[in-house]
Structure 1
Amino acid sequence: MKYKSFGNIVDSCPRSRTERDNAASKLNCGVDKYGRNLYTCVPTADLTAVVEYCFKSTAGLYEKGTCLILVGDGDLDDISCTHFKEGCPKVPFRITDLYQYPACHNINAKDRCFYADPICPDKSFIQKSNENMMSFKHQSLIVPSFTMGLVSLVLVTVLIFFAVIYFVKKMKKGRYSAPNSERIEALLSYDSTGRLPDQNHQLYVLMLNCTETMRNFFDICIPPQRLAEVVISSRQAMKYSLSEDLRKKIYAYQDSSEPLQISSKDLNISAMYILLRNSPSVQPPSNGWGRIPEENQITEGDDLERIRQIRNILAHTKYDLDYERCKKISSDLTKVIRRLQEGILRRRNQL
């Protein structure tokens, strides 16, 4: 089945290099300027389908601890998979490596979740339940009627028990909420060999300043009076990035005649990033969205991508930041803040 104008919906993605190469050959996928295969197979952002297609840009490097999803017309975004039971990438990877991580494209389209997610219904559980039911029906033909009733009661009780556990887990708050500032501060305050507490504090303060600068930039690109409309129309793509409070606001809005009261202060970095990348007033990064910019790439889009990449390092993964790494990130954030502030002034003068 075709997906939009550029891909095919498939039942599953390749799980070996040979399968990947064969699939790429069928789609006539080429290679990027570095000779890397551009065949891509990932779930859609709403986790309702798996799509294969030929990526149109450079096969960039993505952070460990993330999976890729399809957004827009062929772009890629990464989401955290550190909570998966297994299969989450433990090293940085490219789209050419996706076949090595089946957990990142093995989805339950009915419940819109990854099977590796602990709260997602397990295929093996469903299959075993069906097998047990068939076995029970067969055995019920030869057991006394009172035994059959007893076994039925026990089976129903067990199924209800597991159903209750599943829905309780499903309703737990904050499963997909992005780590807050306290989480970042906790990561940065961890002291180990080669790490200086004052440097960690400086990095934490810079990250907060960078977030505020990004928020000021966001308010110019997406005016406050249009924000509620934009968030509602994009809530499906943002479902892994919305805070618990904002999800409650949106759910309440759906059942109310009152207008949705929201400001950019309700949005974290991930949510602002998703909305900005879809804004016509922001040019895409030099390497495209979702890929690490080079040192000499300093457009507004490049810096927005830098903020997200650094945020992922600090909040999604448990990097042990040594002094040099901490110093490099601090330098990058300082430059990003300065360039974005200059861009904010330019845009305000054009209004």
Structure 2
Amino acid sequence: MDSFKILLVMIFQTVGVLSTLNCPLNETEWKVKSKAKVCQGSDVYHCLVVEDGKARTEKCKEKTLIMNGYCPIFTYDDYIHWKICNKTGCPNKHFPSDEVYKFPVCFNIESEGKDFLGRLESRQDNTLPLKIGIPVGIIAALVVAAIIVIVVMKKRRYTPTCEYFIS
């Protein structure tokens, strides 16, 4: 497993970037997102919950058949897998993984602690720029501080002494 991917997912989940992704809830929205994603070959657009149940993400993957009573998920290894669904509105028939929008309960994530209706309310959440801006601002400040430290250290190293001017 690529540890860099895990680290990025953990960072994004911590600041809430991935969890705010809202998957399309009907065929029309799904087709719009699918065209925007531009998948290649036999891969098709998917928007699924990540395997730990704390975030959603979009990827192009080959579709697979999901059995009734299960919801498709993305593993950390970028595969489509499934988890058992034991809530109201769970799939009651087999379906292709790229038709998960028919079962909105499959988009629930644990960190929200809300049912599907609560997730709909979160679509009005305008905090995404803040959730992205804060980490970007912190990273920018750290980069600027590192540059200042490097410049100061170089100036100290190359500062001429009085002996240089006297000779």
TM-score by length of 2: 0.54
Partner of 1:24: 34
1:38 is paired with a residue whose SS is: strand
How many Å apart are 1:100 and its aligned residue?
0.8
Partner of 1:46: 52
Matching of residues 1-351 of structure 1 within 5 Å: 4=5, 9=18, 10-30=20-40, 32=42, 38-55=44-61, 57=62, 59-81=63-85, 83-84=86-87, 86-111=88-113, 115=115, 123=118
Q: Which structure carries more strand by proportion? A: 2
How many Å apart are 1:71 and its aligned residue?
0.6
Cα distance change, pair 14–123 in 1 and its aligned pair in 2 (3 A): closer
Kept in 1: contact 2:44–2:98 (CA 8 A): yes
CA RMSD after TM alignment: 3.0
How many Å separate the matches in 2 of 1:95 and 1:30? 17
Cα distance change, pair 90–20 in 1 and its aligned pair in 2 (3 A): same
User: Aligned partner of 1:123: which letter?
Assistant: G
User: Aligned partner of 1:27: which letter?
Assistant: K
Cα distance change, pair 62–105 in 1 and its aligned pair in 2 (3 A): same
Cα distance change, pair 110–16 in 1 and its aligned pair in 2 (3 A): closer
1:19 is paired with a residue whose SS is: helix
Per-residue CA deviation, residues 52-87 of structure 1 (Å, 9 max, x unaligned), is: 1111x3x22111000112112321211111x20x22
How many Å separate the matches in 2 of 1:106 and 1:64? 17
**Identity score, percent:** 26
Q: Which runs of 5+ in 2 are unaligned?
A: 9-16, 123-167
2:81 is paired with a residue whose SS is: strand
How many Å separate the matches in 2 of 1:31 and 1:104? 26
User: Aligned partner of 2:31: which letter?
Assistant: D
User: Aligned partner of 1:91: which letter?
Assistant: K
Q: Which runs of 5+ in 1 are unaligned?
A: 117-121, 128-351
Partner of 2:135: none
Kept in 2: contact 1:40–1:52 (CA 8 A): yes
2:54 is paired with a residue whose SS is: coil
TM-score by length of 1: 0.27
How many Å separate the matches in 1 of 2:47 and 2:111? 15
How many Å separate the matches in 2 of 1:30 and 1:102? 26
Partner of 1:177: none
How many Å separate the matches in 1 of 2:77 and 2:34? 19
User: Aligned partner of 2:49: which letter?
Assistant: P
Aligned length: 106
Cα distance change, pair 109–31 in 1 and its aligned pair in 2 (3 A): farther
User: Aligned partner of 1:115: which letter?
Assistant: D
Kept in 2: contact 1:13–1:42 (CA 8 A): yes
Q: Relative contact order (alpha carbons < 8 A, sep ≥ 6): 1 or 2 greater?
A: 2
Per-residue CA deviation, residues 266-325 of structure 1 (Å, 9 max, x unaligned), is: xxxxxxxxxxxxxxxxxxxxxxxxxxxxxxxxxxxxxxxxxxxxxxxxxxxxxxxxxxxx
